[in-house]
A and B are shown apart, each in its own frame.
Chain A
Amino acid sequence: MIRNRSRGGSGRQYNKDRQTGQAGTHSGTPALSGHLREMLEQIRKESGDSPDIVIREFKIGEPSFWQVDAAIVYLNGLSDEKTINNVVMRSLVEFKPDRKPDMNPERLMEMILKDALTSGDSSMESDWKDMLLGILSGDTVILLEGCDKALVISTPGGQWRAVSEPSSQLVVRGPKDSFVESIGTNISLIRRRIKNPDLWLETMKIGSVSHTHVGIMYLKSVADKDLVEEVKERLKSIQIDAVLESAYIEEFIQDETFTPFPTVYNTERPDVAAGNLLEGRIILLVDGTPFVLILPTVFAQFFQSPEDYAQRYDISIFMRLIRYISFIILLLGPSVYIALTTFHYEMIPSLLLINFVAQREGVPFPAFFEAMLMEVTFEILREAGVRMPRAIGQTVSIVGALILGQAVVEAGIITPVMVIVVALTGIASFALPAYNLAIAGRLIRFCFMVLGGMFGFYGITLGLIVLVAHMNSLRSFGVPYLAPLSPFALQSQKDTIIRLPFWTFKNRSQNNYNLKHAKKAEEIKPLGKSGKIGGHSGNKQ
């Protein structure tokens, strides 16, 4: 009933007002005026009389001796109405202020804050914009007639996806929860794993329009102080209108834009995030996405799976080696095949060669073209399968893998070996735990195919040299991308390519190779380059 009243009779009138109102906001009314009517009107004006803004007016105090007009404002859907009704409203209604001669609205508000409210997180706010932002983030605001401050009570609510199993980083053994879109839930998921006051959280808002919450989490005693400062510096210099995914942030803060390799790690698993915190890394949580950023990142991290620590170490070593091998197959599989068959036939074992030749007989395309054709087809299939609704997705894979693969061989367009090679590289790309590295590998694979098709192993070798040189030049927040292999750190080898039993890591931070090299990297390439970040960021719009 009250809500109905607040919405007002004629929307048009407000519509007209909005234009003037907006001009008014821009000119700036940072402080609250203190007149309840005016303030409520202002809220309505600035939000375009949005129906989901609930304004409830009531009187506070005892009618017999002293009463003040008050209003409660919140955003329907974002704040928890149950809390508002049960906690906020009840405490206000039940609140009977003492008779005090010097009673004024401001004092009253203080009394409400101190004596009446049974809700935990509440504060006084005198800035208009902050108050408005509070409403928009799901807080409840209490305004009093004659008081130029607003009481902001945290009443978070609304609908979020529940914590569920991770969808992109699965494990057989290990925790099964994953981050969700709510930053609060995500923080709690990490806090639950590391119960330590040393785990610090700082938040800031990024996005001139979206005002997205971004949380920076780190273990105070382990994380490098300079690194934390640098991260904050880079985050501050981001100029963007909205942050809808952590990738937006990633693109702004990464050291190198022109590289296929990801230099910031992301995960949707709280256990991975917690593990990285313990190793001294910094975690960026972005509201609205389950993907959390981890930095600084080294190349070897993309080959580590949380399962490595859940299985016996010898099995983990084997699995990791398999992943490295798959990456090499992914990069070089088709190109080596092309190079072998078009340049280095003498390197193929004789009987295998006879097999290859027999298959090539009557196939119209050169090996390079054949490989390109199949690889592109495979990418199309994969891309189509990703977007497909789950029910149709299976059809795509059946049509693609079975029918297309078989038909193409039977029609004599493609040699069977090529199908094997392409299938192997395709599967190898899925063996990598990190999706973004697999995509990078797929991209580079095409370059190697061109090199292999043009110059054979000579070209592939040159390509590898350039690739390694490039990877060596990469930095992630000053940490060399190939650390701890280059520069080499013996202590860190315990958990890089192999994983030794836990007792060999004397303590966890010893295992943290990042910090050890952060200093060195600082010399190579100064960390303070926030100016450059601002330079290539610009406004997104």
Chain B
Amino acid sequence: MGRKCISGLLACCLLLFTLPGCWDARELNRRAIVSGIGIDHSDGGYEVSLQVIIADEISGKTGRGGTPTSVYHASGRSVVEAMRNVSREVPRLISTGQTRLIVISEEIAREGISGLVDFLDRDSDLRLSTKLYIAREGIKASDIVSALTPLGKITAYALVQKTDLAADELGANFAVEIDDVLRGLLSPGGGPVINGLNFAGSPEKAGDKGSLEKTKSAGVVVIDDMALFKGDKLVGWMNREECKGMVWMLNKMRKTVLLVKPEGDEEEITLEVFETSTSTKVDVSNPRHPMAVIKVKPQMSVREAGTEIDLRDSLALDKVEKAANVAIARKLESAVKKAQQMKSDIFGIAQQVERTNPKAWKRIGGQWEEIFPAIDVQYEVDSIIRNTQMRDRSYKYHFKKK
């Protein structure tokens, strides 16, 4: 009896589900899959450029030999309005669930990205792991999403791969996702750092299919240095050194190369850092003048040594290590100086202070903007050379012997 009642109820509940029907069902061939979004400034609002994947041209049988992606533009007073306006151009539903790249023009970034980030955060289709970029001044975001790449058919995905690879191998940047930007915006007195994008070559020709017919592309999008924000506004660009220092400060360094000149040597030695960790400690004993100690422990291998140095000698290695310590500390210092100069606590030292001494933070939190540029930062780098690859001494060492 009881079971019958329950199963009857269950059946009724199941019937309820037929009421909404298939309202959000949509076949794949009724969707326009957006791989990248470019956002430019337009009169009184935004101009949105959507890079839509033309799947047919990539793997289909019915391709017409066109470009693998197509870009649609529209303007509106807000991003959403602009995106909806695109539907006048696109016959299919604009689906941003697979979008991996969002490029914002520097112009917008200088004015402030808070409104835009709210859209990125709120939208249910866009992932929080979508990567954010700033197109450097003079370059339109729409040009970047319109560019074609010789390797990888979809520019947006290729760019994302470039970012990840550059972060892994060079360490002058790291992938910045919407999520990271949100965190940066929320950190007191700080702001996000966002990768910049630039062109090597001509932006106009990069979108031309003809550019793929040359071994030397007429225009290639490259990952540039990172943009430094204060709050939601872009305040400056860092150079390569500062970028590396910042990545190191944030403990996001995975691998990088380092050129050092050990004491008493003429030629530079190239080291590869393959493992490193950074820890930040804050001393708030004097709340007016907090101190920060940055400890870095990199492990390195010698990659290039065009000198006569004898790498079997631990004293020689010591010299190299010392030189590396100085070089790394200089990078870190340059990054910190830059941030202090821009008065933007991109490293989240404020949070460290709050964590170590919440009471003091309550007092000084309001004036963090003045305190941060004056923070005394100490760098303790303890690098270790783990190996010297396939050789210990360079072949040049034998010249010296003779």
Contact = CB atoms under 8 A, between A and B. Distances in A.
Does B associate with A? yes
Nearest to A354: B55
A455 B17 contact: yes
A454 B25 CA distance: 7
Interface in A434-473: 453-456, 459, 462, 466, 473
A5 to B, nearest CB: 66
B298 to A, nearest CB: 35
Given A343-B25, A345-B95, A353-B33, A454 B10 contact: no
Interface string B29-57: 10101010000000000000000010110
A94 interface: no
A473 B2 CA distance: 13
Contact of A454 (B18, B55, B56, B59): B18
Contacts of B98: 345-346, 350, 353
A345 B26 CA distance: 9
A341 B26 CA distance: 8
B98 to A, nearest CB: 5
B17 A459 contact: yes
B29 A453 contact: no
Given A350-B35, A353-B98, A354-B53, A342 B58 contact: no
B390 interface: no
Interface stretch (A15-23, A296-304, A355-363): A355-363
B67 to A, nearest CB: 14
Contacts of A367: 27-28
A459 B60 CA distance: 31
B3 interface: yes
A357 B28 contact: yes
A454 B127 CA distance: 24
Contacts of B314: none
B115 interface: no
A77 interface: no
Bin chain A's interface residue count: 20 to 34
B157 A466 contact: no
A343 B26 CA distance: 6
Contact of B22 (A341, A359, A453): A453
B3 A473 contact: yes
Contact of A350 (B10, B59, B62, B100): B100
Given A350-B98, A359-B60, A454 B53 contact: no
B56 A361 contact: yes
Instruction: Please indicate which of the listed interface residues A353, A354, A359, A366 has the most CB atoms of chain B within 10 Å of its own CB.
Output: A354
B60 A358 contact: yes
Nearest to A454: B22
What 6 pairs between A and B have smallest CB-CB spacing? A346-B97, A358-B60, A357-B55, A358-B55, A360-B29, A360-B28
30 contacts: A342-B28, A343-B26, A345-B26, A345-B31, A345-B95, A345-B98, A346-B95, A346-B97, A346-B125, A350-B35, A350-B154, A354-B55, A354-B58, A355-B55, A357-B29, A357-B55, A358-B55, A358-B56, A358-B61, A360-B27, A360-B28, A361-B60, A361-B62, A367-B27, A454-B18, A454-B21, A455-B22, A462-B14, A466-B10, A473-B3
Given A345-B31, A346-B127, A350-B98, 12 more contacts: A342-B25, A346-B95, A350-B100, A357-B29, A357-B33, A358-B55, A358-B59, A358-B60, A361-B60, A456-B25, A459-B17, A473-B3
